[in-house]
Structure 1
Amino acid sequence: MSSTGEDSSILNEEIFKEPLLLLSSQVRTRLKKRADLLAIDRDGNGVVIELKRHHGSMGVDTQALQYLSDFSSHRGMGFLSRFKKGDEKSVEEVRGFLGDAVAIDDINKATRVILVARSFDETLYSMGEWLCSMGVAYRCIAYTPFNVGRKTFSAFRSPSTACRG
């Protein structure tokens, strides 16, 4: 899901429809649960990305919300120290990604969820609409694998039910 450009920590913008900087993968929460990916967007918001190989069903939303509640309690340098190395090189990478628009102290003032799966239960869409109405940004991205010769590729699409915070 990374771009093929110079910086492999920038997630593929064609999939997510926005630039995202990968901070960490297989991120442990304080309750020893493990989120698939944690990134930030250009506004410095945390983005929890949960990946499912097949169908996204009820429960995946609760799982992602558990991660969201844990990660949203960290801000600024504390967020970077906890989820990215927090060393000078990592901070410079984040500054380069964010530019001058976002101060380090303002990182992760809001956190949101992106679920990626082949398909989703309809109940996840209604849950997403409700979460959005409560101010929690939530989006589903569906993918379809297909073969060309011996290679497998994936086509990605976002259903109309999505909101950004």
Structure 2
Amino acid sequence: MPLYELSSDLIAEIPTVTYASLGLREREDVQRVLREHIDVISPDTLILAEEFGEWIDSRRRIDLLGLNRDGSLVVIELKRTEDGGHMELQALRYAAMVSTLTFEQAVDAHQKFRESRGLLPASAEIIIREFLDIADGPVAFSNKVRIILASANFSKEITSTVLWLNAQGLDVVCVKMRPHSFQGRVLLDIEQVIPLPETAAFQIAIREKLVAQEALATSGRDLTRYRLQTSQGETFANLPKRRLIYKIVAEAIKLGVKPIEILDAVPWRQANMFISAPGRLSGVALMATASGRSAARYFCDDAELFHVDDHTYSMSKQWGLRTEDAVKKILDILPTNHGLQYESEV
């Protein structure tokens, strides 16, 4: 669909132009800008590398290699052409090549990417771990590789191929990026055409349900529930691990233990156990200060926040194999006769 300018007495079409006619180059212009604003075509994505080609045939390079918060790698291919060329076949080859990428290789690639752009020194491993909200332990990427194709347009050949690939369980997204010239400016009309946004959520939900069912059947996920009793005689039953440690941290803070003391007790979670900001804030206001952090991963309802020394704290919901270790470490720093008792429920 074309873009139109609406005025008081007419609707005028804003002409579609080509990247070539605007003097825009694929890598130096379009790719460079998208690299800095990747959320417009791939939300919740961290760019790991640009022109990635860490394999034997170094002539083949991925325009942008990303990582989604769900742990899946993202192959992003860009084309200035009006029909997308044969980019879907090229992207499939790249997806196959990076499907075996390890966490250590991703860290190395991201470190080189940051150095090549002259970014401030920082640990690529810490950046990736914070992005995934995995403070410690091994990191394994999803077996699925997402493919995002971005072009001014797509031929029927490409769209038919992508629809078929998605029906086979692949995750391929087509995004149109049509340039328009308007009063000396370049407007970019960005539209996801496959899958249609109206059906994407449903398709993703079905796919995630199947993945979750397979993971639950094969991973031996720990579904232990706990019972907690406080010194005031309150009893909380059927607590999953994340809720157990939240309740214990809440009791610790009631007993006068500072968040910094809790972090010292569980040093492996110092990077992302809490989000904090000065002042007495609401959950919404606190999360607004934490760019790139998902509210779904934190106890950030107003009633769940901690207010200590004129600061507001929200605690992470992401707890793994060392949750009980953390619980024991926190109990060890509580005042004598704290009265907290917990046990697993059969």
Question: With structure 2 as the length reference, what TM-score do the two structures score?
Answer: 0.41
Q: Which runs of 5+ in 1 are unaligned?
A: none
**Structure 2 residue matching 1:120: 3-state secondary structure:** coil
Aligned-pair distance for 1:61?
1.1
Bigger radius of gyration = 2
Structure 2 residue runs of 5 or longer lacking an equivalent are: 1-29, 113-120, 208-346
CA-to-aligned-CA distance 1:98-120 (integer Å, 9 cap, x gap)? 22499652224321210000000
For the Cα contact (< 8 Å) 1:22–1:39, is it kept in 2? yes
**CA distance in structure 2 between the partners assigned to 1:103 and 1:9 by the alignment:** 29
SS in 1 for 2:88: helix
1:87-102 to 2 correspondence within 5 Å? 89-100=123-134
Change (3 A) 1:124 1:101: farther
Task: Report the equivalent of 1:35.
Answer: 62
Q: Equivalences for 1:9-158 in 2 at 5 Å?
A: 11-16=37-42, 18-30=43-55, 31-32=57-58, 33-81=60-108, 83-85=109-111, 89-100=123-134, 105-158=139-192
Paired letter, 2:107: L
Go from structure 1 to structure 2 and tell me whether the alpha carbon gap of 1:142 and 1:93 turns closer, same or farther (over 3 Å shift).
same
Q: Is the 8 A contact 1:49 1:116 kept in 2?
A: yes
Structure number with greater CO (CA < 8 Å, separation at least 6) is: 1
- Flag the 1:159–1:79 CA change in 2: closer, same or farther, 3 A: same
SS of structure 2 residue aligned to 1:125: helix
Q: Describe the shift of the 1:143–1:88 C-alpha distance in structure 2 as closer, same or farther (beyond 3 A).
A: closer
Aligned residues: 159
Q: Distance in 1 between matches of 2:137 and 2:156?
A: 38
Which string of whole-angstrom CA distances, capped at 9 and with x for unpartnered residues, describes residues 56-94 of structure 1? Answer: 44521111111111111113223333x322897111111
Between Structure 1 and Structure 2, which shows a larger proportion of strand residues?
A: 1
